[in-house]
Structure 1
Amino acid sequence: MGLAGRLYRGETNFDFIGSRKRWYIASVVIGLICVGAILFRGFNWGIEFSGGTSFVFKPPSGVTLEQVTKTVDDAGVEVQTAQKAGRGSDVKYVLKTESLSIAQTTEVKTALTGTYKIASNEITDNQVSSSWGGQVTDKALIALLVFLVLVAAYLAIRFEARMAIAALLALLHDLLLTAGVYSIVGFEVTPSTIVGLLTILGFSLYDTVVVFDKVAEDTRGILGGSRISYAEAANNAVNETLMRSINTSLISLLPVGGLLFVGAGLLGVGTLKDLALVLFVGLAAGAYSSLFLATPWLVDMKEREPRYRALRDRVAARRVAAAKTASQPVEASSDDEVSSAEADEVDADGDEQTDREPATAGAGSSSRPARPAANRSQQARRRSGNRPGRPGGNRKKR
């Protein structure tokens, strides 16, 4: 079955912890790109956050979105975003501009009705204040802070404080990566984006908690021995939960990928892409951070403690001693006058016993076969009870 079979049976042994510096470097590079995009490109805020006017109408047959956008631009109003909603005969065009006065709104509707023979009552306009978007942003930030506090408290009680810190760091990594991708791609940030963002927080923590639960199980009582270090036990735990993480991530990404690539990409349903993108990027980032970042960060924090550092040193010293013992040649002594069947045997109690059988018996008899080693100590004890100089066994008196 190869790699797939070993993954299914949980027999992989990837060195996630030993190669953690590679993941750190990759994450730092990606994080810097995301921060640069956010600072220099910013976000494409939707009308709900920036305020503005939207126009929704059903276009005549054969009229493209580009033609409609040009018509509005020629009327002296700049179109900020233009997208399609629905599919087939139910498709509608959604145009969003800056906040317009009543006269400007009437002028845009007049341009559309005059060019494409659309009835004025078939065009729906909606004015949104930017203060409403500010309220949505504030509530989203409050919800995020409350969520983080509750999660940190739960992880600290259920596991330990260091696991809570590592999980929150991985969560912030996922948020930064998702926000950076949104800035780079230029998708519109809408209330659906905020909902998707809060959704991926739960998924990212779920995957991390599954891994941490296995780490806590495998490292329980580890300080009492010197067989394995904390880093090695944590790496084993990640490998044991690897298939579960892959399955969970794939099952979550497949339907979200359908929304993004099929619904928004192939079918052109633009209203889905803001929600689908944040879910897809967030789920992928959460799967990555739970395996490659959260547990390595936990190991780094744990091995800063003197007791876990001492455990690592004991394990290393024990292995060095074992390697030296294994490399020393074993010296074997031999006696030319004693055959291998007459060699000294060591008793189970540690006492050295001698068990020699005579090479030949009386006339006409052949040499005795060697007796099992398990009976030799008993034979030695029976012979030790005979008088010196007298052959073993009792002879019949004449």
Structure 2
Amino acid sequence: MFQILKANKAIDFMRWSKFAFAFSGLMIAASLYSIATNWFNWGLDFTGGTLIEVTFQHPADLPKIREALTNDGFADATVQNFGSAHDVMVRLRPREGTKGEVIGNQVLASVKKGSGDEVELKRIEFVGPNVGGELAEAGGLAILISLLCILMYVSMRFEWRLSAGAVLALAHDVTITLGIFSALQIEIDLTIVAALLTVVGYSLNDTIVVFDRIRENFRKMRNGIPGDIMNHSITQTLSRTLITSGTTLFVVIALFTKGGANIHGFALALLLGITVGTYSSIYVASSLALKLGLTREHLMPTQIEKEGADQDEIMR
């Protein structure tokens, strides 16, 4: 690849634009279908309720724990391993008229009775339903406002066809990432919202680097056709894109594998978002601008006539 770049030859990325559009369309359709049918597995931050994290001396028997909780009136409890076979997390929806601390103690006693093992309480959290609803609304507004601000920024900086390509590529990245979370029913909490905002900023930065080179080459390569100029621009920035994404992914993979269960969802969202964002910067954003009819004339600087130029021409 680097030999190709040194020889100043462009990789024909636009050749695969139809396949990229078909693949992206399929992924977006599958994501929207999953969101419409499965919705999201909202975390305690958004739903409210009680979260209890316990550690067993021996590997936990989840079916026995669920049975014990059901017998004690906690049939709606969600029981799952958290990090290892010895760690278990129990989540409960909010209950009216009962304090969270009381519920926590009852659940802990039920877990001990059902498992027959020594249990150590590691963490207990209580979130009210009103607080959860406010956090859900604030998280959605944060993503929406960030996209609107980005739309304003790219509209002022680039020609509208490039701006539309950048914004649609961002929507593409967020939709596919959320669709995967919906399909796998991975719990979404505030750390996931933070990861999505990070992905939006990362993907936008990557796209702007490519678009800056596209605008520069459209003004330099006077005789080139738009598709070839796109290919040259993406090829020239490809090494930067791969190095930046690669080094970032090394860190994210380390967080995903060694960071522990607390940041597992955050690292997974970054891993998915950066991968999809790198793909969209190369294929989706630029190809969309080309499909919208971008030409060299659209990116040429506006010629400003000097005052008095008409009079000087008449006198000559």
**How does the TM-score come out when normalised to structure 2?**
0.82
- 1:188 CA displacement: 0.4
Q: Deviations over 1:332-355 (max 9, x none)?
A: xxxxxxxxxxxxxxxxxxxxxxxx
Aligned CA distance change for structure 1 residues 12 and 244 (closer, same or farther; 3 Å): farther
In 1, the alpha carbon distance for the partners of 2:61 and 2:156 equals 55
Task: Mark the structure with the bigger radius of gyration.
Answer: 1
Q: Verify the 8 A CA contact 1:10 1:242 in the aligned structure 2.
A: no
Trace 1:101-180 onto structure 2 (pairs within 5 A): 101-102=98-99, 105-114=104-113, 115-118=116-119, 122=121, 125-180=124-179
Is the aligned partner of 1:84 residue 2:75? no
Pick 1 or 2: higher relative contact order, CA cutoff 8 A, min separation 6.
2
- 1:105 CA displacement: 4.6
Q: Verify the 8 A CA contact 2:151 2:163 in the aligned structure 1.
A: yes
In 1, the alpha carbon distance for the partners of 2:7 and 2:24 equals 27
Is the aligned partner of 1:206 residue 2:205? yes
Aligned CA distance change for structure 1 residues 137 and 108 (closer, same or farther; 3 Å): closer
In 1, the alpha carbon distance for the partners of 2:137 and 2:251 equals 30
Given candidates 10, 13, 16, the residue that maps to 1:16 is 13
- Counterpart amino acid of residue 225 in structure 2: S
- Counterpart amino acid of residue 198 in structure 2: T
- Structure that is richer in helix per residue: 2
Q: Deviations over 1:22-69 (max 9, x none)?
A: 11111111111111111111111111112221123343x214262544
Q: Verify the 8 A CA contact 1:234 1:295 in the aligned structure 2.
A: yes
- Counterpart amino acid of residue 284 in structure 1: T
**What is the percent sequence identity of the aligned residues?**
24
Aligned length: 290
In 2, the alpha carbon distance for the partners of 1:111 and 1:289 equals 49
Trace 1:289-308 onto structure 2 (pairs within 5 A): 289-303=280-294
**How does the TM-score come out when normalised to structure 1?**
0.66
CA RMSD of aligned residues (A): 2.7
In 1, the alpha carbon distance for the partners of 2:161 and 2:155 equals 8
Is the aligned partner of 1:35 residue 2:32? yes
Trace 1:313-332 onto structure 2 (pairs within 5 A): none
What is residue 60 of structure 2 aligned with on the other side? 64
Q: Deviations over 1:305-353 (max 9, x none)?
A: 7967xxxxxxxxxxxxxxxxxxxxxxxxxxxxxxxxxxxxxxxxxxxxx
Structure 1: segments with no counterpart, 5+ residues: 309-398
What is residue 187 of structure 2 aligned with on the other side? 188
- 1:191 CA displacement: 0.7
In 1, the alpha carbon distance for the partners of 2:177 and 2:53 equals 29
What is residue 253 of structure 1 aligned with on the other side? 249
Aligned CA distance change for structure 1 residues 186 and 10 (closer, same or farther; 3 Å): farther
- 1:132 CA displacement: 1.7
- Counterpart amino acid of residue 279 in structure 2: Y
In 2, the alpha carbon distance for the partners of 1:36 and 1:193 equals 21
- 1:259 CA displacement: 2.2
Aligned CA distance change for structure 1 residues 299 and 83 (closer, same or farther; 3 Å): same
Q: Verify the 8 A CA contact 1:218 1:237 in the aligned structure 2.
A: yes
What is residue 310 of structure 2 aligned with on the other side? none
